[in-house]
Amino acid sequence: MSITKSKDTIQEISIVICTKDRHELLVKTVNHLQSIVPEDRYLEIIVIEETNIPQPLEGKKLRYYTIPERGRGLGFARNTGLKKVSGSFVVFIDDDIHPAENWFDNLLEPLRDEQVGAVGGAVLPDPFHLNTIGKCASFLGFPAGGLARFLKTRGRNYETNLISTGNCVFRSALARSVGGFDELIRNGEDTEFFLRISKVSKTIFVPNAIVFHHQRDSFKGVFKWFIKRGRGRFLRTCKSGTHPFLALIFPLRGSFLVKLFGFLLAALLLFSISTLASLTFVILTYLLWNTILWKREHQLHSRTSHGFDEDIIRIKNIITSKDVMFLLPLVKLTMDMGREVGKLMAFFRYMRHRVFAKPLILTFHYIGRPDGRNLSSDSKYYCPEEIFQKILEHSERDGWVIVPLVEIIKRLKEKSKSLYFEKILAVTFDDAYESVFETVEGALNHVSYPVTVFVPTGLVGDMNRWDQSKDSKPEKIMNWQQIRRLSRMGMEIGSHTCAHPHLLTIDKASQITEVSESIKELKRNIPDYHNNEIAFSYPFGEYDSAIIKMVINAGYVGALANYKGNIRPTTDPYQIPRFAVSADSDWRGICNQSRSMWAKELMKDVRDWLFYSHR
């Protein structure tokens, strides 16, 4: 779909702004945006604010949403915005930017070419909010290449995968097709997102689509910023398939740690000979580094300013002023140290998760109300609603991220290292009882927990006929209307066969029918589920190798068993372990069970590495 300037198609554009703890800047950005872009040029402005105290913004085409302060990161906020948009094209900008004149038209122009999937614009420093530290950061090309990148293009568009969500537009359908933003990378997830976009479409940089932004103005701010950048670089490298240790130290030529080690070693050797020699070495190194940095970067900024407007010339003059030269090495040192600290923190965090906090899956069955209606409190499958909610709350309090089950399975099959970027867990419900619907719709809707519900499709709207023993009470199963409601809320729907049989006790033809017809029934009854990846849960946890093959042939993305365990890189996607939760469970107990397996699982990892990794 191409963009023209007719009102019918231009209104397909949604503008998204994600923000946290900067409401005043947000208001200024929104007001300025509304003043320079006429209302008939876009469909909506969507604001996603992470806060526990909503401060709604008002406007004719302004839609304001909040997400709770749960520390999910910008990737989560951006994906939330992506889910909310109605337009075919999505513009993302930061909450502290000031778009230049003609920014909107220049940014959208390349999308006339249907082969272009994403466009990024120039991000330049606001010349009215720059101190010397901010000038140095801008002089060094941060963020997004800065003025040097702008000048290098000489006003010409070019194809690149280096695009920033601080100033960009992309096709919403394309963004969804590549999986959106990776919420587990947390920092620099936009870089990885546009790298995926660039593999399936053209991605263009447009220097004349300019926004001005507030630059970091303190050593502390720059240091924290580059810690995040270093962490993001480490995680992106790991996700690409590089071993974490190699991601930490390579490339050696550009490693700040190697350079710092060499410098300190030389300084110490000279210090052992003469304090004066050591001090002279440090001073000369600083001056030499200063000269190299200044000449290298100044050469990029010394390109002609002919034809540029006053703002560009002003920025160039400000960030190449003499006061920048003397502080430049300290700012560069702060950046490099921050980046290496970020990589180290990410590495040790990864290793801690890899050994002691592997991904885990929780499974529930009955969820009870306080009155306990239609429930047997002594059942091992019963879990009171208050315990269920406490488990989720305590898991998030401990830094665990609840993610969709299918996402875990896909990462296990394709990018297993990314399973350990964060402490992650999935929440599942077997049997699709109506009490689960009431809990999920009520308690979870406002916090957007992406749980998975496994449905026995042949018993939808009926009772649990497989569990009619004298000690149990009948429990009603959701109807299709309720199941579709959960799907619209963003919950995953999986298969639990048709009639919940003991698969090992029925004949092969019946096994095939139970497995294959269930997934077909889900796709027939849930809109937009035709191409969805669907998981399977073995009834009673019973299966064998033949049933696993049936599940694979039916097209399921993975399957859950019923034995306890954590998810390791070599876990079979069709025999995934999980922890069953009952009335006497609590989060601390679940964590203790999970951690108690670390030594045994580590031995399995070593075995797999020694005997299977090179096959």
pLDDT tens track for 97-143: 999 989 999 999 999 999 999 999 999 999 888 999 999 999 999 99
| Domain limits, CATH 3.90.550.10, in the chain | 7-215
Residues 295/107, Cβ–Cβ less than 8 Å? no
Residues 230/224, Cβ–Cβ less than 8 Å? no
- d(CA 202, CA 103) in angstroms, rounded, equals 20
pLDDT of 203 reads 97
Look up the CATH number of domain 357-611. Answer: 3.20.20.370
Residues 97/20, Cβ–Cβ less than 8 Å? no
pLDDT of 281 reads 78
CB atoms closer than 10 angstroms to residue 349: 18
What average pLDDT does range 139-162 have in this prediction?
Answer: 90
Pairing of strands 579-580, 360-364: parallel
- Band the pLDDT of 8: cuts 50, 70, 90: very low
User: 440 vs 190, 338, 437, CA distance in Å?
Assistant: 31, 42, 5
- Band the pLDDT of 492: cuts 50, 70, 90: very high
pLDDT of 253 reads 54
- d(CA 570, CA 612) in angstroms, rounded, equals 10
CA 503 to chain CA mean position, Å: 38
Look up the CATH number of domain 7-215. Answer: 3.90.550.10
First-to-last CA distance in the chain? 46
pLDDT of 248 reads 83
Cα dihedral 157, 160, 161, 164, rounded to 10, equals -40
Half-sphere exposure of 124 (CA within 13 A, CB side): 28
- d(CA 180, CA 537) in angstroms, rounded, equals 26
Q: Which residue in 380, 566, 387, 534 sits closest to 453, CA to CA?
A: 534
User: E strands, 340-474, where?
Assistant: 360-364, 366-368, 382-384, 400-402, 423-430, 452-455
- d(CA 523, CA 531) in angstroms, rounded, equals 8
- d(CA 183, CA 1) in angstroms, rounded, equals 28
Residues 281/266, Cβ–Cβ less than 8 Å? yes
15, β-bridge pairs = 45, 91
3-state secondary structure (DSSP) of residue 64: strand
Residue with tokens 């909040």: 66
Assigned token pair, 353: 């998760």
| Domain limits, CATH 3.20.20.370, in the chain | 357-611
Pairing of strands 423-430, 452-455: parallel
What average pLDDT does range 60-78 have in this prediction?
Answer: 88
pTM of structure: 0.86
- Comparing 123-137, 232-246, 444-458, the range with the smallest average pLDDT is 444-458
